[in-house]
Amino acid sequence: MYYRGTVFILYAIVIGLALGWLTGGRLEHLASLSFRWAWVAVAGLAVQVALFSAPVSSSIGAAGAPLYVASTAAVLGFVLVNARVAGMPLVALGAASNLAAIVANGGTMPASGAALAAVGIGREPGYVNSRQLVSPVLAPLGDVFAMPAWMPLANVFSIGDVLVGLGIAVVIVAAMRRAPVVTAADAADEGPIVAAMRRAPVAADAADETPIVAAHEAPPLTVGGEPERAGEPDRPGGDRPGGEGTGTNG
């Protein structure tokens, strides 16, 4: 049996791209996504894909369970490190749910017999990632659901897989809809008209100014048609430079 986690990741990516495009997102915005410890996730998923391939699963023996648990924990660690990314908390919740069920059942994800039968999967030899158990622990977190048999790569799945898939779709949609950050290098490449438009104030900005800022930008007060000079004291008798006083001549 092929690794069921790959199925949900593939479907989640396709659904995320479609929803991102339908909601006005742009594909090139995905380049702004930045993940830490990405190599950990790649290594963990690669181990799982290899672990459940026919040549390895039939000969791995007792080493299969600890390898499965360790690789799943590694992927969860990657997700937690990147929890700041929109959608990753959902992925973390799903991965933690799957890991709890796998650990509680000795390194195997418990599966429903009805779900396995719905997709035509029987008891297979060797180490598999999902199997019907006699007395499963945390059975509701196991593979109790089945994809329709007519779907490509139909397989069983868990509530944790659903959360992982939803989280991946949210990551993609949020990234596609996010406006790209304009860096100094990008601004230098812009034409003078675009740069001027970025610098030009808008009416909404002026309305948001505080009274102090607005007063600072107001024109100077005028007296007699001329601007009043700041800091210049009044002359005795109300005289102004260039004007006539009100006093009497000697």
Determine the Cα–Cα distance for residues 127 and 66; give it in Å rounded to an integer. 12
Paired residues of 111 in beta bridges: 143
Determine the Cα–Cα distance for residues 213 and 208; give it in Å rounded to an integer. 10
CA neighbor of 129 nearest in space, from 158, 109, 154, 115 = 109
Question: In this structure, what are the phi and psi dihedrals at residue 3, rounded to the nearest 5 degrees?
Answer: -70, 120
For residue 123 the two structure tokens come to: 């008891």
Q: What percent of the chain has pLDDT over 90?
A: 46
Q: Is the pLDDT of residue 1 over 50?
A: no
Mean pLDDT of the chain: 79
Least confident of 41-45, 111-115, 204-208, 218-222: 204-208
Q: Tokens 């479609």 identify what position?
A: 18
**pLDDT, mean of residues 132-141:** 93
- pLDDT value at residue 18: 97
Q: Is the pLDDT of residue 213 over 50?
A: no
Q: Where are the domains of the chain?
A: 4-182, 185-224
Tens-digit pLDDT profile for residues 41-100 = 999 989 988 888 878 888 888 888 999 999 999 999 999 999 999 999 999 999 999 999
